[in-house]
Amino acid sequence: MSSQPKFVDLEQAAQFLTDLATGYRTNEVAVVRNPSYVHPAFDLYLLAPRRKTVREQVIGIVKDMDGTTTTTEPLCIHSLEYMVRRITGRMKK
């Protein structure tokens, strides 16, 4: 297992993120804005490659909310509802 540096400059950070995205075969990143009292102002998350349809024979879907704090819980609940509605085709209430 290779050791990752604890600190990098901006150019190295950009290359690190690019290499990570390439490894996961994705080219999209979610920019999630945090509440004004949370630092940093936003977080970046690599997104899995897009799918046009849900895989056949999906038996279940799991969403991990371990470690959710009071500042992120509403976002997690909304994300869970949105994901279930998208997958089941029930976007309208």
**Predicted confidence (pLDDT) per residue in 44-85, tens digit:** 999 988 877 766 667 777 777 676 666 677 777 888 888 888
pLDDT tens by residue, 21-46? 999 999 999 999 988 988 999 999 99
Percent of the chain that is helix, strand, coil (3-state, to 5): 30, 10, 55
CA-wise closest residue to 84 among 68, 61, 50:
61
